[in-house]
Amino acid sequence: MTQVVIEKSKLADLISFLAASQKVVGPVSLGHGQFKFAEISSFDDLALDYIPTILPPKKYFMPQHETLLKYDLGKGQEMQAVVEVEELVLFGVHTCDLAGIQCLNVVFSDRPKDLNYMLRKNHITLIGLECNDYCDSYANCAMLRNHLPKGGYDLFFSELSDCYAVDINTHQGELIVEESGLFAPASAAAQEELAALRQAKKAIFKSEVPIRYQDIPRLFDETFESDVWTKIGEKCLSCGNCTNVCPTCYCFAVMDEPELDLTKGRRVGVWDSCQHEYFAKIAGGESFRETRADRKRHRFNRKFRYPMVRYKRVFCTGCGRCSRSCMAKIDLKETISALMEERG
């Protein structure tokens, strides 16, 4: 339920208020219709009318390259665990990306807990922003039911005609509202306008693939031996773009980076991808998923079927990043449609 509003003219003051005490990150334009999350110093840096950024905000929760420990095997024989944490406000996160962060939260708080992730997450303030229009043909948030806010944020902004309606979801959100002094109680007119906006979204956000959310895992179960995977495997380049840009792909490798004297160094975590051939290789050179078709099928099942069993949720947010960034033009919506057609 909306509790407060902020006038549009006061948004710049809010960014200044937040940036005075911590790093503020938001969507910025790269030109050519592309966007990224980056540090901003003022409201003017923000591009609030944006389609999903190239990389999702997961890069702030699990960095692409993260130091886990430092070691010195010289006289002192020292080893020190490292947690890279900074106070951060993520401003303007869409509902699909909020859903992606919630997926990561359940994975990294599952046993064994990833303490680096949990500590970092506790230092990030999340301010969401509602999409009032469908972003592009790659997205499919309505099929995955992620076009409306469902928690996972501290504050959530919905743009109305002359102000933003703001939902306060946490104590941290409450503090920002109280201490900034920039918000006012939501009037009945603002509440009505928000209700009308949500009603209008029903006609705008529609799944283009005619399948119910709860039926998706069964589709992947029943099409495990489908020819669709062979055809996709023939196109796939195994580049790993799709996993890098995916807000819910969380696989990482742990490796050592020794210094030249071989006594000092650090152990790091770096993003990895199940689309690479070496990923499923085991001792003796055997591979669980030797072909590109095997690996693509695995990725789709890791989005739509296996997490439903373990976490009771689909791990696709509908952001469309994998389809948008695939050089081989492998499209998620087309793949699901092809599987439905083949199953009949």
Contact 245, 322 (CB under 8 A): yes
Q: Does 317 bind ligand SF4 (CB under 6 A)?
A: yes
Is the Cβ of residue 18 or residue 319 nearer to ligand SF4 in the bound state? 319
Is the Cβ of residue 223 or residue 275 nearer to ligand SF4 in the bound state? 275
Separation in Å, CA 278 to CA 61, 246, 290: 25, 20, 9
Is the Cβ of residue 82 or residue 328 nearer to ligand SF4 in the bound state? 328
Q: State how far the Cα of 70 lies from the Cα of 256, in Å rounded to an integer.
A: 10
Least Å from the CB of residue 103 to ligand SF4: 8
Q: Does 328 bind ligand SF4 (CB under 6 A)?
A: yes
Contact pick of 81, 195, 237, 251 for ligand SF4 (by CB under 6 A) = 237
- Side-chain half-sphere exposure of 4, counting CA atoms within 13 A: 17
Axis crossing angle, helix 171-180 with helix 11-19, rounded to the nearest 10? 110
Number of residues that bind ligand SF4 (CB under 6 A): 25
Is the Cβ of residue 75 or residue 329 nearer to ligand SF4 in the bound state? 329
Least Å from the CB of residue 231 to ligand SF4: 12
Strand partners, 157: 129, 166
Contact pick of 238, 287, 291, 301 for ligand SF4 (by CB under 6 A) = 238
Is the Cβ of residue 44 or residue 215 nearer to ligand SF4 in the bound state? 215
Contact pick of 247, 269, 274, 336 for ligand SF4 (by CB under 6 A) = 247
Q: State how far the Cα of 234 lies from the Cα of 278, in Å rounded to an integer.
A: 18
Contact pick of 83, 239, 280, 340 for ligand SF4 (by CB under 6 A) = 239
Q: Does 245 bind ligand SF4 (CB under 6 A)?
A: yes
Q: Does 322 bind ligand SF4 (CB under 6 A)?
A: yes
Contact pick of 158, 223, 275, 335 for ligand SF4 (by CB under 6 A) = 275
Is the Cβ of residue 125 or residue 140 nearer to ligand SF4 in the bound state? 140
> Which one, of 39, 42, 44, 46, lies nearest residue 89 by Cα?
39
Give Cα 274 distance to the centre of its chain: 18
Burial class (CB in 10 A: 0-12, 13-18, 19+), 180: middle
Q: Does 330 bind ligand SF4 (CB under 6 A)?
A: yes
Least Å from the CB of residue 247 to ligand SF4: 5
Options 117-125, 217-225, 278-286, 318-326: segment touching ligand SF4 (CB under 6 A):
318-326
Q: State how far the Cα of 79 lies from the Cα of 71, in Å rounded to an integer.
A: 4
Least Å from the CB of residue 309 to ligand SF4: 18
Q: Which helix (H) or strand (E) holds 310?
A: helix 306-311
Q: State how far the Cα of 25 lies from the Cα of 40, in Å rounded to an integer.
A: 6
User: DSSP letters of 121-155?
Assistant: HHTEEEEEE---S---TT--TTTTT-SS--S--SE
Reduced to 3 states, what is the DSSP secondary structure of residue 68?
strand
Under rule CB under 6 A, which residues in 276-305 are in contact with ligand SF4?
303
Least Å from the CB of residue 336 to ligand SF4: 11
Using CB under 6 A, list all residues that contact ligand SF4. 236-242, 245-248, 275, 303, 316-322, 326-328, 330, 332
